[in-house]
Amino acid sequence: MNDRDVYLKLAEVAEELYKLSEQAETLVGEAALRTVAGNVAGAAKAIYEHVLGGDSAH
């Protein structure tokens, strides 16, 4: 699995977690899913910016 594949999978997982958070039955469940989705989305963004985005520092 290359970096592009990792980015795409993480973005997909983050989107799914955001969708699941909308279906959560409690505020705690919603908050947990949104927190994890945000973390996963952040990891995807970091991969995109530093590896796929051609960041000159790396």
For the chain, what is the domain count? Answer: 1
- Structural contact between residues 7 and 49, judged by C-beta atoms closer than 8 angstroms: no
Q: Return the pLDDT at 58.
A: 44
Check whether 55 has a pLDDT greater than 60. no
| CA 29 distance to own-chain centroid | 18
Structural domain harbouring 11: 3-52
Q: What amino acid is encoded at 52 in this protein?
A: L
Give the DSSP per-residue string, 11-40.
HHHHHHHHHHHHH-SSHHHHHHHHHHHHHH
Domain assignment present for 42: yes
Q: Return the pLDDT at 54.
A: 61
Domain assignment present for 19: yes
- Average pLDDT, stretch 1-13? 94
Check whether 36 has a pLDDT greater than 70. yes
Domain assignment present for 33: yes
Check whether 57 has a pLDDT greater than 50. no
